[in-house]
Structure 1
Amino acid sequence: MDLPDQLKNLFPDHVEGENNSNEHKSSGIWMQDDPILCKYEKRKGKPITILEGYTGATEDFKILAKEIKTKLSVGGSFKDDKIIIQGDYRDKIMQMLKDKGFNVKRVGG
């Protein structure tokens, strides 16, 4: 028994293809009502940009982190449900997220 059959047994009333208003279908990333917070900090004298406040799946946030790092050609990591990007790229990251349809809020400075 494969996964779709198991899901049909668990949820017999579910109809495939129903639209969920909180999900962005084109990119497959969960869209949320609360804004993602974009912070700027200095750690050990070096600037970093921190994105936090995402309420969707962790895997989606990891995919988003990889996409941001690739587009900006910078280093970074994903720890404790936060994306940490090396350097001050708040404006570029906020524009990228707005283009994807996310709500973004700038925090600090």
Structure 2
Amino acid sequence: MDLKDQLKNLFPDHESENIEEQEDISDIWLQDDPILCKYEKRKGKPITILEGYTGATEDFKLLAKELKQTLSVGGSFKDDKIIIQGDYRDKIMAILKDKGFNVKRVGG
């Protein structure tokens, strides 16, 4: 007996609602120019830098937050650049391509 059957036994008069699943479409503005994905070392530590976004700053901040949560890493948003701690170029590029962004790998 699954959960739906148990609920039907407890509440026989209740009619279940069909909840439509929404696609995971973000409200972030997509641009034609590629976002540049760079790799640098600062004080001996590797970092990944994303720059070149021409949309609203708030959208870029949301994208930074989502990337940091998805990768479970630290980072920041400064001077219209997303700085991610560590070398995550391949993973970041895959995530951004899934979202519909054009991404260009710069350096190495």
TM-score (structure 1 length as normaliser): 0.76
Find the counterpart in structure 1 of residue 17 from structure 2: none
Find the counterpart in structure 1 of residue 92 from structure 2: 93
Find the counterpart in structure 2 of residue 37 from structure 1: 36
Unaligned regions of 5+ residues in structure 2, if any?
1-24
Find the counterpart in structure 1 of residue 15 from structure 2: none
Number of residue pairs matched by the alignment: 84
Secondary structure of 2:38 counterpart: strand
CA deviation string 1:5-34 (max 9, x = no partner): xxxxxxxxxxxxxxxxxxxxx211001010
Unaligned regions of 5+ residues in structure 1, if any?
1-25
Secondary structure of 1:92 counterpart: helix
- Equivalent residue runs for 1:63-74 within 5 Å: 63-74=62-73
Q: Which runs of 4+ in 1 moved over 2 A?
A: none
TM-score (structure 2 length as normaliser): 0.77
Find the counterpart in structure 2 of residue 46 from structure 1: 45
Greater CA radius of gyration, 1 or 2? 2
Q: C-alpha displacement at 1:47, in angstroms?
A: 0.1
